[in-house]
Amino acid sequence: MKDKVRVGIVGSKFAADFHADSYSRNSRVEIAAIAAIDNLEEFSSKWKIPKVYKDYREMFEKESLDLVSVCVPNFLHHPVVMAAAEAGKNVLCEKPLATNPSDARQMVETCRKKGVKLLYAEDWTFAPAMRRASEVVSEGGIGEPLYVKAKECHNGTHSPFAQKKETCGGGSLIHLAIHPVGWILQFLGQGGKNKVVEVFSMCTGGGESNFIHKKNTGEDFGMGMMKFENGQRAFVEGNYITVGGMNDIVEIYGTTGNIKVDLTFGSPLTVYSRNGYSYAIEKADTTVGWTRPAVDEFFNLGYVQELAYAVDCVAGGSEVMYGCSPELGLACVEIIAAMYESNLKGAVVKGLWG
């Protein structure tokens, strides 16, 4: 068991910031280095990171790292993970694992061959509210789960890479709905034992066919249905047309009860402000009037626990659980790809995923 885990971060924007925040709360972690093409001085100064690199390959070559956090735009996940694996570094990759199933499979296979751990960063796995909901279900609190409805929505991404289909892998489905897909796969999918056999999806068409974001080449609204082997159903949604802040909602319906989870607006605080204040919740464009400011957003969304788990896996050499595994990440990308296929065909797509 390692006393200290040396971490390197690739990227310096939003995802890198909550990775650094989460690592900084863990006494076992030393953030040894960061590699990024911009924002290096500001980011390294904020988080007191001693070594900075413009090229992640140089960081992999020169630094002794136990774990690499991949926090770059979607289309760069594949090359960064592949380079880390070739350098013998364990990797924690942000969602989605890749922009297409072929790249995702290659990443999983290469990391396996090289003997390095590849962890998939699905924060919903570790969110306290989601864990508590799963406990209630496992105790028989709502009987047998029949149907899950889950969504992640907000008013649009600021990232130019997420706005382009070729660098994102799609639009709001792969960028947002992949969270509920991942959580549902582990919840209803029972860790890969109960697989998805059918998907159906409808999306806006990108560009002028979008509801609001006409400059986005990917969709700004997407929804999909999943049918599992045992007959359970799930509905997921990801959209960029929801104003008022990040809106993550999960509903679980069972034979004798139901559960409703509000991940992002479930704050115990209610504030009324005439003047506004600095921050309420991710993607909220105003703090004037009535608001529900987050108390510890990174903790409640599961980021802190997620990264602590990754550190423990690397330090102790333990196997990665399904909810944080590359197999889950691959299945998410495959299902999203099947949903895009379904949207184009206007028909159900059958397969075996999970």
Rounded (5°) CA angle 186-187-190: 65
CA dist., res. 136 & res. 303, Å (int): 22
What stretch(es) of the chain map to CATH 3.40.50.720? 5-124+303-310
Residue 42: band (very low, low, confident or very high) from pLDDT cuts 50, 70, 90: very high
- What is the pLDDT, as a whole number, of residue 1? 73
Q: What does pTM read for this prediction?
A: 0.97
How high is the pLDDT of residue 191?
Answer: 86
* Confidence tier at 82 by pLDDT (50, 70, 90): very high
Q: What is the C-alpha separation between 162 and 165, in angstroms, rounded?
A: 7
205 confidence band (pLDDT: 50, 70, 90): very high
- pLDDT tens for 264-304 read 999 999 999 999 999 999 999 999 999 999 999 999 999 99
What does the pLDDT look like over 54-65, one tens digit per residue? 999 999 999 999
Banded model confidence at residue 3, pLDDT cuts 50, 70, 90: confident
Confidence of residue 2 (pLDDT cuts 50, 70, 90): confident
Query: Given this model, what pLDDT does residue 244 score?
Result: 96
Answer yes or no: CATH 3.40.50.10540 is held by domain 5-124+303-310.
Answer: no
Residue span(s) of the chain under CATH 3.30.360.10 come to: 125-301+333-353
- Positive or negative torsion for Cα 35, 36, 37, 38: negative
| Topology at the third CATH level for domain 125-301+333-353 | Dihydrodipicolinate Reductase; domain 2 (3.30.360)
pLDDT at 162 over 90: yes
d(CA 126, CA 312): 14
Span 215-261, pLDDT tens digits: 999 999 999 999 999 999 999 999 999 999 999 999 999 999 999 99
Rounded CA separation 253/26 (Å):
36
